[in-house]
Chains A and B, each alone.
Chain A
Amino acid sequence: MDQLVESISRRIAQRTSRRSFLARLGTFILGAAAIPLLPVDRVAHAQSAGSTDFKKSAHKNPNDDLTCDYWKYCAIDGFLCTCCGGDSHDCPPGATPSPTSWVGTCHNPGDNRDYIVSYRDCCGKGACGKCLCGNTEGEMPIYRAQLDSDLIWCFGAPTMVYHCSTAEIVGLK
């Protein structure tokens, strides 16, 4: 066994330079770090990473802001800030609210009225990874970008790094 490992190690050492190995390792690390910054389809990415999809869980309560079924979250797409140290309309410490947001309408079964809701992403901190939701009420495809929630809405924020999403009532229909 020792001889086998020694022979493989010697063969690698003879055929490759340390510089090229370090260059490839550096490229790999940088490339892996850049992937979360790409502003596309964060839900699919997070699901493949093994995050919990709360929509598929047993929780079904339109008044519980820790679940995807909370009525105000009818079009929320991403990690709930309520599960990440913030609340339904405030970012957790260390994350910055994006100055831009996308706006939709949700029906509140409590008073049977429709409310205008602003979905604002919290930015500047790595992905929270908790309570992933992919609700799509009123969502439009990417060619109607102002109503597409798959985008990371950190436009105008200091960085495009996405942490979690909030939902705030801004009007009544």
Chain B
Amino acid sequence: MRRALVLLALASYFTASASLACAESAGNLYLLNCWGCHGAHGAGIKGTAPPLVGLSDFLKVPGGRAYLIEVPGVSLSSLNDAQIASVMNWVLDQMSTDRNFAPYTANEVHRLRATRLPELSKTRHALLDQLVTMKVRTSAE
């Protein structure tokens, strides 16, 4: 019995080590899934990929938190809920000056990514207008 318990403990240890070894860091998730279009520092490409710099601004307006997960590049990506939460929190932390935000959780991502944005461009512009109205940003670019 004691030997079986020791074996079980060892098996659990090695399983946990293996899954930790396989887990991709948030920075590498960004490199592998976002970097190609948004760039190393999140500058984006005008007309092709929106900038990620200052992304935490969107968390300050109603609907902004959901929008960041509902956009197709995030909600339809091949990443799982935990990976999306991890890389989104990393982007918010690395590319925004205001880092005082409540991090996303896998459960929240799971719920939000089930929603499809019917009017992506309209939603984005409405949120940017709100950011200007609330004086979070000076222009709706």
Q: Mark B111-130, 1 if CB is under 8 A from A, else 0.
A: 00000000000000000000
With beta carbons under 8 angstroms apart, the residue of B32, B47, B48 that contacts A105 is B32
List chain A residues, Cβ under 8 A from B45: 99-100, 155-156
Is A170's CB within 8 Å of the partner chain B? yes
Residue from the list A103, A116, A146, A155 in contact with B48, Cβ < 8 A: A155
A100 touches B37 (CB 8 A): yes
- Whether B78 is near chain A, meaning CB under 8 Å from some CB there, is yes
- Residues 73-103 of A, flagged 1 when their CB comes within 8 A of B and 0 if not, give 0000000000000000000000000011111
Kindly identify which residue among B32, B39, B49 contacts A116, using a CB–CB cutoff of 8 Å: B32
**B47: nearest residue on chain A (CB-CB)?**
A156
A140 closest partner in B (C-beta):
B78
Question: From A170, which residue of chain B is reached at the shortest CB distance?
Answer: B31
Question: Are B36's CB and A103's CB within 8 A?
Answer: yes
Known: A171-B28, A171-B31. A156 touches B36 (CB 8 A): no
Q: Which residues of A contact B48 (CB under 8 A)?
A: 99-100, 155-156
B94 at the A interface (CB under 8 A): no
Given the complex, which residues of A lie within 8 Å of B28, measured CB to CB?
A: 116, 171, 173
Q: Which residues of B contact A170 (CB under 8 A)?
A: 31, 35, 40
**In whole angstroms, how far apart are the Cα atoms of A170 and B34 in the complex?**
13
Given A144-B78, A155-B48, A156-B45; A101-B36 close (CB under 8 Å): yes
Shortest Cβ gap from B33 to chain A (Å): 7
Q: Which B residues, 35 to 53, have Cβ-Cβ distances below 8 Å to chain A?
A: 35-37, 39-40, 45, 47-49
Q: Could you show 15 A-B contacts with beta carbons less than 8 Å apart?
A: A100-B37, A100-B45, A100-B48, A103-B36, A105-B32, A116-B28, A118-B35, A144-B78, A146-B36, A146-B37, A156-B47, A156-B48, A170-B35, A170-B40, A171-B27
